[in-house]
Amino acid sequence: MNTKSVFSSLALLVTSMLWGLSFVAQSVGMDNIGPLTFNYVRYFMGFIVLIPFSVVRFRRNRQLDKSPDLKHFWKKACWAGLLCGLSLAVGIIMQQYAISMLPVGKVGFLTALYVILVPILGLFLKRRVSPLVWICCIVATVGAYLMCMGSGSFVIQGGDVLGALSGLFFAVYILIADRFSPHFDGVFLTCIQLFFASLFCFIPKCIVEPFDASAVWNAIIPLLYSGCVSSALGTTLEMIAQKNVNPTAASLIMSLESVFSLIFGWIILKQVMSPVELGGCALVFAAVCISQIPSTLFRKTGKKIGN
């Protein structure tokens, strides 16, 4: 492994830590404001922070790209940002409501199911899925079952459903971003999608949550962290680092956000899960890791998605 790959791997590890800590910030922020207001403000902050960087990179890339069709470029960029922003907003809103009902560590592991769901959703794009991924789905389902048995009996709470659905929509987001990211600069696309994500959180917020400037100010620290550090800085680090790291290794490193959410939830929020719930988390994490094992270790032919 060369020096660039080492530093990129460390950057991804830092990213997973930033995202794991964001679960705590999201929980603390809701002590003062509602889920929709929190996400609207955090994404708008991230959008504002990335504007100057996006402008610089846009101008530089335009100098390299001699294509004069700016109208077509902006139309495609807005369409990509809209689809990415919509899926991101729906996923984060569900995650935010789940955090208001469950320990942040539990929500982190439910969200991590997106790593397995991405290849499953790839079936709709006519991509093959290996038997290993199906096995991991069974293991993850057992893990989710154990996480729903924290009280000693199987009870599916609303937060469990929302946490799993957030993972589903994040999987959709990843597939959409994968479709458009090769055509745009990473920072530029992130900036646009954060704008649309903020917009899609703002619209329902106007209906169900009144805006309270003093309440927003009381939540300014978790908002600044989630918006400027987790959304803007974290996503930018991911975009840059992934270019120098094997995709399988990158997925494994970033899935550690679920582990960090559990650790930070325990240290900062004093949230403790039962041994049964922790066992479920361990199974989900194991399924996530195993699903990323390259299929070439098992078969020499056949192109598949997800492992």
Structure tokens at 139: 């293991």
CB 109 within 8 A of CB 286: no
Cα angle 88, 15, 204 (rounded to 5 degrees) comes to: 20
> Is the four-CA dihedral 60, 189, 225, 24 of positive or negative sign?
negative
pTM for this model (two decimals): 0.82
pLDDT of residue 250: 67
pLDDT in tens, 94-127: 999 999 888 888 888 888 877 777 777 877 777 7
DSSP alpha helix (H) spans, 112-185: 114-121, 131-147, 158-180
Residue 306 near residue 293 (C-beta atoms within 8 A): no
pLDDT attached to residue 304: 34
pLDDT at 223: 94
With contact defined as beta carbons under 8 Å apart, do 162 and 100 qualify? no
Can you give the pLDDT of all 307 residues of the chain as single tens digits? 567 777 888 888 888 889 889 999 999 999 999 999 999 999 999 999 999 988 887 777 665 555 556 777 788 888 989 999 999 999 999 999 999 888 888 888 888 877 777 777 877 777 776 777 778 778 877 887 777 766 555 667 788 889 889 988 988 888 888 788 777 777 888 899 999 999 999 999 999 998 889 999 999 999 999 999 998 888 778 777 766 766 556 666 777 888 888 888 888 988 887 888 888 888 888 887 777 666 555 444 433 333 3
How much is the pLDDT for 297?
Answer: 52
Per-state percent for the chain, helix, strand, coil, to nearest 5: 80, 0, 20
Task: Answer for the pair 157, 148: CB distance below 8 angstroms, yes or no.
Answer: yes
> Residue 303: its pLDDT value, please?
36
